[in-house]
Structures are given as C-alpha cells and as structure tokens.
C-alpha cells in the first residue's frame, strides 16, 4: 500500500471516530467519560491524513514518465491487498453495530463472583428506590439484602435468558470499553415480562432471599419479585 492509500485509510478511520463521537454511537464502544479523548484522536488522525496527502501530491513528479538516474521508474505502490483496510473504516462510517446484549450475557459469567462482606448504608426514603443492577446485586449478594428488605425497587435493563430458561434482567458493566464488558444478571420472579431477548424494560418489585448459580462462572444471581413492568426504549447510554 502506498502513502496515498495509507493516508486515505487514516482519513476514513479518523472520520469514523469523529462521526461516532459527535453522536451517541460512541457509547456502544466506550464509557461516557472517554468522549473527549475520542474526539482528540479523531482530529489527530484526520490532520495527519490531510498532511500526508498534501505532501504526497506536492512531491508527485509533474511528468509521470520521469525516471531516476538508473533509468528506471520508481513508484510507491505496494500490495493492493492493503486497500482492503478501507473496508472496516467504511463499515464504521456507514454501519453502527449494536451495543453488547443478550448474546454477551449468555457467553459471559456475571461479575458477582467474589466473596465480600460489605455493610451498605440504608437506601434513601421513598418508594420505589431506583437502583442500578450493579448496586442491587451488591446489596443483595454481599449485604444479604439487609438494606433491600421491605422496599420497592425499580431496575432498568434488557431481557436475557436465565440459567433456568426463564427471562432475567441484565446489563453490561464497562471498566473502559466494550472489549472488557461483563454482565450483571438479576433473576426475575412473579409478573415476569415475556419478551424477546434484548428488549429493554423497567421493572418494579421486591428483593427475595433467593439466588441461583451462573452456569458460566458459578457466580451468584440474585432475584427480584416483579410486581409491575413496562417496556421502554433503549437508553442512549446502555452500559452501566
């Protein structure tokens, strides 16, 4: 691949990063706080590509038949297969892949696989208490549900298939980017929504003193007794 082709690929990748960063698409790859770094990286790639193209065009001989002192023409062309690198860049520009979902949940063990004893502070007054799936899981597993008793809890996540074949609630936790995504899984009882996997719902119910073992990594899956639920649109920031 010659320098001109390399610059074009770099320009496309920089443009794809900027396009994703200026919309909510970047949230399917990384956490919210990394947006400024993505914008900076995209601008840097675009600027480098433009300078490389400028230098390539400026240094190109006016007469393409010019020869060097040895009497042979010399070009900068390389393997044409290098142009295939354009395809993933074009794919990023034109196609936005979905966020990690039920498939990841089925293949990856829940993150509640440690042994901790943590005393959590009481939930704020007023029902329902709106918790993340991770906070509910920590309080249910590591604090034995002490602060969840006799409270109405509201959780938001997507539907996945549990180890018993029944629907459960899940969400992906990111440390940095989608490559390190790990699911948090909450089992459901009672008025369980019978919806396709990856459907987003908001459920309200009560903690129950029951857990199951995740067959993937033997971690604990706490349960919620669902009283009511409603289908919702996927949030812009789908990861916790």
One domain, residues 90 and 107: no
Query: What whole-number distance in Å separates Cα of residue 14 and Cα of residue 74?
Result: 30
- Domain holding 188: CATH number? 2.40.50
Residue 66 lies in a domain: no
Query: Would you state the pLDDT for residue 85?
Result: 64
Query: Would you state the pLDDT for residue 159?
Result: 97
One domain, residues 131 and 226: yes
Longest alpha-carbon distance in the chain: 89
What DSSP designation does 234 have?
A: P
Residue 205 lies in a domain: yes
Query: Would you state the pLDDT for residue 89?
Result: 65
Q: pLDDT tens digits for 148-171?
A: 999 999 999 999 998 888 899 999
Instruction: Name the 3-class secondary structure at 94.
Output: helix
Pairing of strands 200-213, 182-190: unpaired
One domain, residues 49 and 124: no
Query: Would you state the pLDDT for residue 91?
Result: 66
Band (21; pLDDT cuts 50, 70, 90): confident
Mean pLDDT (whole number) for 139-153: 93
Q: How many CB atoms lie within 10 A of CB 191?
A: 13
One domain, residues 91 and 175: no
Residue 238 lies in a domain: no
Domain limits at 120? 103-231
Highest mean pLDDT among 15-19, 30-34, 86-90, 225-229: 225-229
Residue 227 has pLDDT above 50, yes or no: yes
Angle between helices 3-21 and 86-94 (to 10 degrees): 20
Nearest C-alpha neighbor of 123 from the set 113, 112, 135: 135
Which residue's entry shows tokens 């498939």? 103
Query: What whole-number distance in Å separates Cα of residue 239 and Cα of residue 171?
Result: 6
Determine contact, residues 220/112, Cβ cutoff 8 Å.
Answer: yes
Residue-by-residue DSSP string for 12-67: HHHHHHHHHHTSGGGGGTB-GGGHHHHHHHHHHHHHHHHHHHHHHHHHS-SSTT--
pTM of the model: 0.75
Residue 79 has pLDDT above 90, yes or no: no
Highest mean pLDDT among 51-60, 106-115, 143-152: 143-152
Determine contact, residues 186/169, Cβ cutoff 8 Å.
Answer: yes
Residue 206 lies in a domain: yes
> Domain count of the chain?
2
Band (63; pLDDT cuts 50, 70, 90): low
Residue 237 lies in a domain: no
Q: What proportion of the chain, given as a percentage, has pLDDT over 90? A: 41
Residue 58 has pLDDT above 90, yes or no: no
Greater confidence (224 vs 9) lies with 224
One domain, residues 133 and 198: yes
Greater confidence (150 vs 3) lies with 150
One domain, residues 210 and 107: yes
Residue 49 lies in a domain: yes
Query: What whole-number distance in Å separates Cα of residue 171 and Cα of residue 26?
Result: 17
Query: Would you state the pLDDT for residue 189?
Result: 94
Determine contact, residues 204/211, Cβ cutoff 8 Å.
Answer: no
Residue 143 lies in a domain: yes
Query: What whole-number distance in Å separates Cα of residue 61 and Cα of residue 119?
Result: 74
């Amino acid at each position: 691949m010659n320098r001109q082709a390399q610059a074009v690929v770099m320009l496309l990748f920089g443009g794809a990063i900027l396009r994703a960063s200026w919309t909510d698409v970047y949230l399917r790859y990384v956490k919210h706080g990394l947006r400024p770094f993505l914008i900076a990286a995209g601008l840097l790639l675009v600027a480098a590509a433009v300078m490389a193209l400028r230098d390539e065009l400026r240094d190109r001989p006016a007469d393409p038949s010019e020869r060097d002192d040895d009497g042979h023409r010399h070009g900068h062309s390389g393997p044409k297969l290098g142009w295939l690198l354009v395809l993933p860049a074009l794919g990023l520009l034109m196609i936005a892949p979905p966020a990690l979902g039920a498939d990841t949940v089925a293949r990856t063990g829940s993150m509640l696989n440690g042994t901790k004893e943590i005393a959590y502070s009481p939930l704020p007054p007023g029902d329902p208490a709106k918790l993340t799936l991770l906070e509910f899981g920590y309080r249910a597993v590591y604090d034995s549900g002490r602060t969840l008793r006799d409270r109405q809890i509201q959780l938001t996540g997507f539907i996945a298939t549990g180890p018993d074949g029944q629907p459960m609630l899940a969400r992906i936790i990111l440390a940095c980017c989608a490559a390190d995504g790990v699911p948090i899984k909450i089992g459901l009882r009672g008025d369980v929504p019978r919806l396709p996997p990856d459907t987003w719902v908001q459920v309200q119910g009560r903690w129950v003193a029951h857990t199951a073992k995740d067959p993937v990594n033997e971690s604990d899956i706490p349960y919620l007794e669902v009283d009511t639920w409603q289908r919702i649109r996927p949030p812009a920031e789908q990861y916790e």
